[in-house]
Amino acid sequence: MSAPVQAPRGTFDVLPADARRRTLIEGAARKVLEAAGYERIETPAFESTELFARGVGEATDVVQKEMYTFDDGGGRSLTLRPEGTAPICRAYVGHGMHKLAQPVKLWYLGSYFRHEAPQAGRYRQFWQVGAEALGSDDPAVDAESIALLAELLAELGVRGLRLRLSSLGAHDTRAAYREELQAYLHAHADRLAAEVRARIELNPLRAFDSGDPGTQAVMADAPLLLDRLGDEDRAHFAAVRALLDDAGLAYEVDGTLVRGLDYYTRTVFEFTSDELGAQSGVGGGGRYDGLVEQLGGAPTPGMGWAAGVERIMLAAGDQPQALPPVDLYVAFVGAEHRRAAFRIAALARHAGLHAQLELAGRGLKGQLKHAGRLRARYVAILGDEGTALKDMETGEQRELEPDAVIAAVQRVGL
């Protein structure tokens, strides 16, 4: 026998117990987001590589080293989507959604792909639930978006949550700050980790994320973008904070909060959970007022977030969900009764019952044992002596006509 084929590193199978839990997460997302007028959108699993190069930013880790990019055989470069915001902005432009009433509010749930070193809570294919609101720069959009993620995480029982909040200001503020930070990093280059030093030109903000103690000491005194905001951005940030205060949402203003993607402007935020280890981010996002224009659309403000489904499950301390019980198990003794048994099971399902049929050729004892394992409420037994219905709770059994089985199960109640 040859060796079994393995799943690729950093991927996982969603087994049935896990799938049931995910269905609950999807249901909660639908409930919370649709109550606020967000509508579901799906975009393709792969896109033109250009979308992410232009949207996410050439200098980001995601674009530089984490994308699964391939040639489709026709000379086109395609990429498995590493994130959901740029594709949604592409769809907004492509479908002329600027003509709809603004803001256009969309939510999604799907799998994303990043070539990262796998570890607990970090995979190469992972699921995200996300929400985006395009077409309004009102600070209430920011606060509402953040509050909706808070509500979703609370609804799902995510424990040890913390919310960090900051503002990156407008694009030109950020560009000027970037130069200031670069000068500061160059002045302290001897105390920085080699990896941080090598990226001063490309992505200086990432120095705030470094785990290196020397770098951290330098960054403790680094200038903060939050202290450089222009008047309008400061007012916008103050309005967002006031709305969050009114909503009773606790947060910590953290000027070192840097998101890994280049498109953010103004508000950025992240929820972390103390239940998670090194990969503590549960979900986050922010405002991206320049992104739609960068992708060829008219200037359009946007705000959104994405949360990792696996991180949510880890931080909620999930127990596998039990299967819904079986109302009726149809057993039969003798192959000549299979057709009648099949018919009863099918009709029972049409009648709205959860019904299963014996499919493995077990003897009667084996069938009853299996029905017990499935926590079946009733078992119908078809055989040469006629048809019987067994109540699995009381153990009582009575004879009846085959056509009376479904009505009997429905009548006695479940």
Residues in contact with ligand AMP by CB under 6 A are 83, 114, 116, 121-123, 126, 128, 260, 281-284, 306-308, 310-311
- State the nearest-atom distance from the C-beta of 36 to ligand AMP, in Å: 20
State how far the alpha carbon of 133 is from the alpha carbons of 23, 29, 78, 194, 396, in Å: 24, 15, 26, 39, 58
In contact, 212 and 193? CB cutoff 8 Å: yes
Rounded distance between C-alpha atoms, residue 23 and residue 382, angstroms: 35
- State the nearest-atom distance from the C-beta of 396 to ligand AMP, in Å: 51
- State the nearest-atom distance from the C-beta of 39 to ligand AMP, in Å: 21
- State the nearest-atom distance from the C-beta of 279 to ligand AMP, in Å: 7
| Backbone φ and ψ of 119, nearest 5° | -160, 180
| Backbone φ and ψ of 16, nearest 5° | -50, -45
The residue behind tokens 């949207």 is 55
- In the complex with ligand AMP, the residue whose CB is nearer, 135 or 281, is 281
Q: Which residue is nearest to ligand AMP (CB)?
A: 308
- In the complex with ligand AMP, the residue whose CB is nearer, 123 or 184, is 123
- State the nearest-atom distance from the C-beta of 54 to ligand AMP, in Å: 17
In contact, 316 and 158? CB cutoff 8 Å: yes
Contacts of 381 (CB under 8 A, 6+ apart): 331, 332, 333, 364, 367, 387, 388, 389, 390, 397
- State the nearest-atom distance from the C-beta of 377 to ligand AMP, in Å: 40
- In the complex with ligand AMP, the residue whose CB is nearer, 284 or 297, is 284
| Backbone φ and ψ of 283, nearest 5° | -170, 155
- In the complex with ligand AMP, the residue whose CB is nearer, 15 or 278, is 278
- State the nearest-atom distance from the C-beta of 131 to ligand AMP, in Å: 12
DSSP-derived pairing of the beta strands 252-253 and 69-71: unpaired
Read off the tokens for 411.
Answer: 């009548």
- State the nearest-atom distance from the C-beta of 116 to ligand AMP, in Å: 5
- State the nearest-atom distance from the C-beta of 288 to ligand AMP, in Å: 12
- In the complex with ligand AMP, the residue whose CB is nearer, 262 or 289, is 262
- In the complex with ligand AMP, the residue whose CB is nearer, 38 or 127, is 127
State how far the alpha carbon of 12 is from the alpha carbons of 9, 213, 323, in Å: 8, 34, 21
State how far the alpha carbon of 173 is from the alpha carbons of 86, 167, 170, 207, in Å: 23, 11, 5, 18
- In the complex with ligand AMP, the residue whose CB is nearer, 83 or 142, is 83
Calculated CA dihedral for residues 186, 192, 198, 200, nearest 10 degrees: -40
Question: Taking the CA of residue 38 as centre, how many other CA atoms within 13 Å lie in the half-sphere pointing to its CB?
Answer: 28
- In the complex with ligand AMP, the residue whose CB is nearer, 122 or 266, is 122
- In the complex with ligand AMP, the residue whose CB is nearer, 109 or 389, is 109
- State the nearest-atom distance from the C-beta of 272 to ligand AMP, in Å: 8
- In the complex with ligand AMP, the residue whose CB is nearer, 261 or 380, is 261
